[in-house]
Amino acid sequence: MRQQDLPHVFRRICRPGRRRGASMTQADDTTRDTVAAPPPVIAIDGPTASGKGTVAHGVARRLGWTVLDSGALYRLTALSALEQGIAPEDEAAVAEAARTLPVRFDGPHIYLDGREVGYDIRQERVGNFASRVAAFGSVRQALLDRQRAFRRAPGLVADGRDMGTVVFPDAALKVFLVADVEARAERRRKQLMEKGISANLEDLLRDMRERDARDTQRSVAPLAPAADAKVLDSSKMTAQETVQAILDLWNGPRGGALKPGAAGTAGKAKGFSGAAGNIAPR
């Protein structure tokens, strides 16, 4: 090999993937194009019993996407801690329970340590425990990677309280569902009655006001709409109408208003009232 040929050989070795005659910009663009974009996410956040779980499943079913019920992970952590006799004030022990959670999701079925617990985690005592321990930063951090692992093709619909602000800040669409506390309490009462669980409306109202206060006032990931979220008041909407409203947002221009004639209201989250018992857009 002639000495004057060495620089050319060196350039070919150090620049893999470069097409013959391609410019630096063209080669870099080719490399970037080979990196697949992450699957899209629709994040649906909101307070207790705002309908986000039912709506998230409806949207996911219509789109053929995966669904994440992040609240179930916190309830599973709560159930595991309760069964181990862990006090809700013991942050370290609860965080360890979250990190080592032996959970498996199989369609609509949820398994904890091999047994189906879909009914158990919906008990009010479990929900109240979950609301208290969700304020711990170490618990939220322990469950963060588990939640993000649900993101897979063709897309994910994630519901919770910090999906659009913390877990999936790059979500393609962020929706914040709100509803009057009375409407939410009545929804929860009907849900519990349908499952054969007795429920007192006044007790539910009191519990929801307490949860709203904890969720909105905690120091770590407080309940609030993302700056680029669409706030949707579902107080007078059916689940089907709310699903359609979100699909209209998804199919329309990102960040645009609801299509004319769509039920409910949606707009940029310019204001948010997180006062206990009255979570609603300003």
**165: annotated binding-site residue?**
no
Pairing state between β 156-160 and 41-45: parallel
Tokens of 7: 């620089």
pTM: 0.76
Residue linked to tokens 């469950």: 143
What one-character DSSP code corresponds to residue 4?
G
Do residues 225 and 176 make contact, with C-beta atoms less than 8 angstroms apart?
A: yes
**138: annotated binding-site residue?**
no
**198: annotated binding-site residue?**
no
Residue linked to tokens 């506390």: 181
Q: Which pLDDT does position 9 carry in this prediction?
A: 37
> Residue 175's closest CA among 221, 230, 226?
230
**253: annotated binding-site residue?**
no
**46: annotated binding-site residue?**
yes
Q: Which pLDDT does position 192 carry in this prediction?
A: 84
Q: Which pLDDT does position 77 carry in this prediction?
A: 98
**47: annotated binding-site residue?**
yes
Q: Which pLDDT does position 28 carry in this prediction?
A: 52
Domains of the chain are: 41-65+154-196+222-282 (3.40.50.300), 68-153 (3.40.50.300)
**52: annotated binding-site residue?**
yes
The H or E element containing residue 109 is: strand 109-112
**265: annotated binding-site residue?**
no
Tokens of 80: 């595991």
- From the first residue on, what is the mean pLDDT of each consecutive set of 10 residues in the chain (282 residues)? 44 41 49 73 95 95 96 96 97 97 89 94 91 93 95 97 96 97 92 84 92 89 93 94 97 54 38 39 37
